[in-house]
Structure formats: structure tokens, C-alpha cells
């Protein structure tokens, strides 16, 4: 019985030992997993490091292989820039005189030369004055006759007054003589008017310039017969100095112009040629029209120019620039330096022999210069070779330190 119990205990002990997992086998598995994880991690880190080294080496190789770009540069500077309102205008003379005949007759002389400058009172055309001179003489003869009749009537009146004082005549004779004198005075006055009228008609035979200006092409010749009050012009004279330009601005710009006029009184106006490449003259705003054109939403303005050199010609189309404000203390760079990538404006700043792409915000442009923010005065910006430049490009500066200014003229931002 005891042997059976002992054998049963041994069997039970054996069963317990087989069912418990061995401790040493689990420890080795854990270490194997740790070693495998560490190895994989090391391989991954090594691969990442090699990839970074390869990328850096490729970048350095690309930089070494990238050629040096030669550029022209310009320095950003601090200054003032004007804000202009641009418009299309027409050169309009202050005075234009179209002279027609006020006397009928044959033209005897043409004193002017085509295209010459004349002064006020200079002779232009003569019409045969003999018929009008004869009328003047006839009227003067009638005036002399009636003047003497008046003098005779006045002498008779004086005699009648003496006789009336002596009671030699009746009152009716005196009264009749007084009225006769008044009638003769009226006749003399009428005769004088006829003489004056005929003298005026005679003066129409000698035509002089009513204004100082330039004479146009000759329209009549000696020997031509003209009629009084005809519609055919004999000569056209246009004042050249001073001269005006009429232009129209949008009604939205009117408050800015009016406000500036109240402060500055006079606003400078520039006149440029048709393609805005040459400035013709500089004047000042003279006046504004009294109402806005509802069909176009514009207001007409007139500017006055001295035109001493004759740069502006009547009826010439010009581009006008009205200065309405001035921005002071802004950063200015050549407009040619500004590049665009969609709606983003940028420049290439040059420092340490490298180009750096810098985003800027552009403002007013005037005479090839643009106001910007995003860079500082004194920064050097590239003005050429944009097709070769990239961010980080190695550059050399050309001897031409300043690129030609952008021909684009001023405009509001």
C-alpha cells in the first residue's frame, strides 16, 4: 500500500514538472527578439543616414555643376513717388479765329504767309475799298449840307428871339423856328450816323488779325471776289501760346482731384506723345467742367500749357498725367527688377555672390521706378538674366550696375 502511494506521488511530481514551462527557453527567445529589433533599427537608421548623405552630395554636386550667372543690379533706395491719374486728351487752343468777309468786293492783296506767326493788328487781307470810300464821301457831303442848314436855322432863331423881345413878330413864328432847329439837329445826327456806318464798312476792306497766333493755309488769292457775310472763310488764325489740353477722368477719381485742388490750388499735368514714350510739355490744371457726362461717367478737365517751344499742336491727341498725390519715404526699385509668379511679385536680391528670391508687395509705378515693401533701402536687386536665375544661384555682377529703366510710366496701385 505504501509503495502504491509513493509511486502515485512520483507520477504526480513528474506530471507537474512536465506541465511547467522551462524558464531558460523563454529568456533566449526574448533576447533573440531584442537583437532582431536592434538590427532592423540599425539598418533603417543607416539607410536614412546614407540617403541624407546622398541627397546632400547630389545637392552639392548640382550647385557645383550650376553655372555662375552674370547679372546687372540696382540698389533699392528711399524716396518719393507720385500718384497720377492717366487720361487721353486733345490739344485745344484758347482762341481760334475764323475770319469771313464783311464787305463785298475784289481781294486786292493777301499780306500773310502760310503758317506764319502774326501779332494782333497785323494786316492780313485787303478788299477793294473804292466803293466804300465813295459812300463815305457821299455821306460826309450830306452831313456838311445839313450841318450848314442847321447853322442857318439857329441864326434865324436868334433873330426871331430878338424880334419877339421887341414885339415885332408873333409867338407862333418863334415857336416854329425853334422846332425847325430841332428837326435840323436830328437830320445832322442821322447824317453823322450814316457817315460812321460807311466808315465801318470801309474798315472791313482792310482785314487785320484780331488775335496773336498762327495763320493756316491760304484760302483766297488776289483777284478773288468775296461777298459780305459769306460762309467761306478767308483765313483761320489759331492761338498757340498759351494752349490748353482737354481730357476726361473717371468720376471715381473726382473726389481725390477736388480734395487735392483745395489743398494745393494748382495740380501739375504732364502731356506725353501718343505712345507715351516722350514727354511733350508740363502745365497745370486750369479748371473743371461743371457737370459729369452721364453717358460715359467722366468729367472734362482743362489744363493750361505755356507751349513756348510749340510742342503741342491744336487738335493733337496726347496722353495726360495729372498728379494728385505724392508718397514720401518709400522704398523704390527699378520696375524691371520686379518679377511675377501668378499673383505673387518677387525680386532676386543679391548678397554674398548668391541670388535669393524675395517676395515683395508692389505699389505705385512711375517713370520706371516702383514702390515696394518686403526689402530694405540699400538692398541690391537683379535687373537682368531672369531666365537663368534661381533661388541660390551663384552670380557675378556685370559692370553695368544699372539696367535700363522700365519704359512703363506711372499708374496708381
Which of 220, 236, 252 is at the close of a domain? 236
Q: Give the CATH number for residue 387.
A: 2.40.420.20
pLDDT digits (tens, 9 = 90+) for 147-169: 999 999 999 999 999 998 988 88
Query: Is residue 383 situated within a structural domain?
Result: yes
Domain that holds residue 121: 99-126+212-236
Which of 297, 324, 351 is at the close of a domain? 324
Residue 68, pLDDT score: 83
Q: Give the CATH number for residue 262.
A: 2.40.30.170
Across the range 341-370, mean pLDDT stands at 88
Same domain (yes/no): 248, 317? yes
Q: Considering only CA atoms, which of 397, 288, 383, 279 is closest in space to residue 335?
A: 383
Compute the mean pLDDT over every residue in the chain, rounded to the nearest whole number: 85
pLDDT digits (tens, 9 = 90+) for 87-119: 999 999 999 999 999 999 999 999 999 999 999
pLDDT digits (tens, 9 = 90+) for 216-241: 999 999 999 999 988 889 999 999 99
Query: Is residue 52 situated within a structural domain?
Result: no
CA distance 392 to 132: 93
Query: Is residue 405 situated within a structural domain?
Result: no
Across the range 79-84, mean pLDDT stands at 89
CA distance 279 to 318: 10
Query: Is residue 180 situated within a structural domain?
Result: yes
Q: From edge to edge, which strands make up the β-sheet containing 96-100? A: 96-100, 233-238, 213-215, 117-118
Same domain (yes/no): 78, 89? no
Query: Is residue 144 situated within a structural domain?
Result: yes
Domain count, the chain: 4
Same domain (yes/no): 257, 144? no
CA distance 287 to 292: 14
pLDDT digits (tens, 9 = 90+) for 58-67: 656 555 555 7
Q: Reply yes or no on whether the pLDDT at 249 is more than 80.
A: yes
Q: Considering only CA atoms, which of 368, 372, 366 is closest in space to residue 340?
A: 372
Same domain (yes/no): 319, 243? yes
Query: Is residue 9 situated within a structural domain?
Result: no
Amino acid at each position: 500500500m505504501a509503495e502504491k502511494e509513493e509511486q502515485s506521488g512520483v507520477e504526480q511530481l513528474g506530471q507537474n514538472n512536465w506541465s511547467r514551462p522551462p524558464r531558460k527557453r523563454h529568456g533566449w527567445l526574448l533576447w533573440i527578439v531584442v537583437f532582431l529589433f536592434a538590427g532592423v533599427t540599425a539598418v533603417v537608421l543607416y539607410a536614412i543616414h546614407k540617403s541624407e548623405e546622398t541627397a546632400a552630395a547630389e545637392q552639392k554636386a548640382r550647385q557645383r555643376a550650376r553655372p555662375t550667372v552674370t547679372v546687372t543690379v540696382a540698389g533699392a533706395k528711399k524716396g518719393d513717388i507720385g500718384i497720377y491719374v492717366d487720361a487721353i486728351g486733345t490739344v485745344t487752343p484758347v482762341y481760334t479765329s475764323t475770319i469771313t468777309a464783311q464787305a463785298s468786293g475784289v481781294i486786292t492783296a493777301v499780306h500773310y504767309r502760310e503758317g506764319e506767326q502774326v501779332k494782333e493788328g497785323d494786316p492780313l487781307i485787303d478788299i477793294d475799298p473804292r466803293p466804300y470810300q465813295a459812300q463815305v464821301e457821299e455821306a460826309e457831303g450830306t452831313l456838311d449840307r445839313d450841318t450848314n442848314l442847321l447853322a442857318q436855322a439857329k441864326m434865324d432863331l436868334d433873330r426871331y428871339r430878338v424880334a419877339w423881345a421887341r414885339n415885332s413878330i408873333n409867338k407862333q413864328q418863334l415857336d416854329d423856328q425853334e422846332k425847325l432847329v430841332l428837326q435840323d439837329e436830328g437830320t445832322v445826327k442821322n447824317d453823322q450816323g450814316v457817315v460812321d456806318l460807311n466808315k465801318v464798312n470801309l474798315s472791313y476792306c482792310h482785314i487785320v488779325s484780331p488775335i496773336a497766333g498762327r495763320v493756316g493755309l491760304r484760302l483766297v488769292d488776289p483777284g478773288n471776289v468775296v461777298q459780305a457775310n459769306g460762309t467761306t472763310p478767308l483765313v483761320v488764325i489759331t492761338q498757340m501760346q498759351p494752349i490748353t489740353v482737354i481730357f476726361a477722368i473717371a468720376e471715381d477719381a473726382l473726389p481725390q482731384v477736388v480734395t487735392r485742388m483745395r489743398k494745393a490750388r494748382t495740380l501739375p499735368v504732364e502731356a506725353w506723345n501718343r505712345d507715351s514714350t516722350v514727354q511733350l510739355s508740363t502745365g497745370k490744371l486750369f479748371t473743371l467742367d461743371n457737370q459729369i457726362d452721364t453717358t460715359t461717367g467722366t468729367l472734362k478737365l482743362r489744363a493750361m500749357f505755356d507751349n513756348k517751344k510749340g510742342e503741342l499742336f491744336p487738335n493733337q491727341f496726347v496722353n495726360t498725367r495729372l498728379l494728385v498725390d505724392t508718397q514720401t519715404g518709400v522704398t523704390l526699385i527699378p520696375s524691371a527688377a520686379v518679377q511675377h509668379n501668378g499673383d505673387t511679385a518677387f525680386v532676386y536680391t543679391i548678397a554674398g555672390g548668391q541670388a535669393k528670391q524675395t517676395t515683395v508687395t508692389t505699389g505705385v509705378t512711375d517713370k520706371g521706378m516702383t514702390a515696394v515693401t518686403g526689402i530694405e533701402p540699400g538692398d541690391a536687386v537683379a535687373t537682368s538674366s531672369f531666365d537663368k536665375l534661381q533661388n541660390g544661384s551663384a552670380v557675378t555682377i556685370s559692370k553695368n550696375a544699372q539696367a535700363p529703366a522700365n519704359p512703363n510710366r506711372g499708374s496708381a496701385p
